[in-house]
Structure formats: C-alpha cells, structure tokens
Amino acid sequence: NPTVGVLALQGDVREHERVLRDLGVDVVRVRRPEELAQVSGLVIPGGESSVIDKLSRLFGLQHPIREAIRDGMPMLGTCAGLIMLADSLVDAIDGQESFGGLDVVVRRNAFGRQVESFEAVLDVPALGPEQVRAAFIRGPVIEHVGPEAAVLAGLDDGRVVAVEQGALLGISFHPEITGETRFHERFLAAVHAR
C-alpha cells in the first residue's frame, strides 16, 4: 500500500488527509525533505500560495519538490496548490515563486474576494458522466494552457479550472469539501501506476 503525502505548511491539510484515508491509503504530513522522500505522491492543499511558497523555501522543500516533479512524482494541487504547480503566475505577490510543472499561466484571485466564493457544477469528461460539484474559494483561473498541458474542465463561460500534465493534476476549486473524491482517486491511480 503506497504512502502519500499532504504538503502541510499551511492551508486545508486535514480535509485532504481525511479524503485520502477514506480512500484507503496511508497519509503523512510533509514539512521537511525527509518526509517528502517517504511518499510516492503529494497533495498540495488550498490556502495562501504566497505563504506556502515562503514556508517551502524556509523549510528547504522548494528544491526537493521541484526535483520530485521533474522525477514524475504524481501531485494534485487544489486552488493555492494549483498556483504552486503553475509554470507562470499573474498577480503574484512580489517575489512569489511557484514550484512549476504545469505548462500553464495561472491568475491568482481571479474570481474576486472571499465573499464572492461560489459553487458550480462542472462537466469533467475524464472523470466520467457524473458532474462535479466544485467550491470556488478565492480561487485562481487558468488563463493560458500551453501545449504540454491538457484541459480537464472549464466553466460555462469558457474559463479553464482544471488541467492535467503527465502525473500532475491542478484544479482551481476544492473537491475535498464537497464530498468529491474522483480527483483524489485519479491522483492515486497515477501513484499506483508508477
């Protein structure tokens, strides 16, 4: 049984842990390089990407995570986690860096303020015919999708909110709070396939 990690520097770590445990895998919190070395996949939660970025550098995780991405470790990034996986950012805080890996341009806070959070129902053909209930909480939007990345889902107005590239999944919203487990299952399938 593989062990997967949740990057536990800041954000909604616990919710992802719960979804993953319910899916039957062993989960550890990743705060240091030694913990990253023990896992065969990593979830990067929602939260505040500039804080996750700062802490990942402070804890010496930025380079090991970039290396793991280059190495093909499966990762699922939700919201701030998507921002961390984007190759390029719009409206980043001064000096903010991402890990990269997804050939996309992501705009932070693209839907406005916290109070403008909303839920949407999305078609995600890769996950099957049943639609996805998606909670957007000050989420980012994927403004440009490069040739290496594939679109998994968009809003009715065409804005892209989920992409995949190899073993990396990035989504603008929070499946872990609406009872949607299929993105985590897809991530675990990539972990098992490795």
Residues that bind ligand GLN (CB under 6 A): 46-49, 79-80, 83, 108-109, 137-139
Tell me if 138 is assigned to a ligand binding site.
Answer: yes
Give me the catalytic one of 16, 17, 35, 79. 79
In the complex, what is the shortest distance from the CB of residue 43 to ligand GLN, in angstroms, rounded to a whole number?
13
Strand partners, 75: 42, 168
Query: 25 or 135, CB closer to ligand GLN?
Result: 135
Three-state secondary structure readout of the chain = CCEEEEECCCCCHHHHHHHHHHCCCEEEEECCHHHHCCCCCEEECCCCHHHHHHHHHHCCCHHHHHHHHHCCCCEEEECHHHHHHEEEEECCCCCCCCCCCEEEEEECCCCCCHHHCEEEEECCHHHCCCCEEEEECCCCEEEEECCCCEEEEECCCCCEEEEEECCEEEECCCHHHCCCCHHHHHHHHHHHHC
133 is in an annotated binding site: no
Q: Considering beta carbons, is residue 48 or 123 the nearer one to ligand GLN?
A: 48
State which residue, 41 or 140, has the beta carbon closest to ligand GLN: 140
Shortest CB 172 distance to ligand GLN, Å:
9
Is 148 marked active-site? no
| Minimum distance of ligand GLN from residue 30's CB (angstroms) | 17
Question: What is the closest distance, in whole angstroms, from the C-beta atom of residue 71 to ligand GLN in the complex?
Answer: 25
Say which of 17, 35, 176, 180 is annotated catalytic: 176
Residue carrying structure tokens 């919201």? 79
108 is in an annotated binding site: yes
Q: Which residues are annotated as a binding site for L-glutamine?
A: 47-49, 108, 137-138
Mind telling me the catalytic residues? 79, 174, 176
- Give binding residues as ranges: 47-49, 108, 137-138
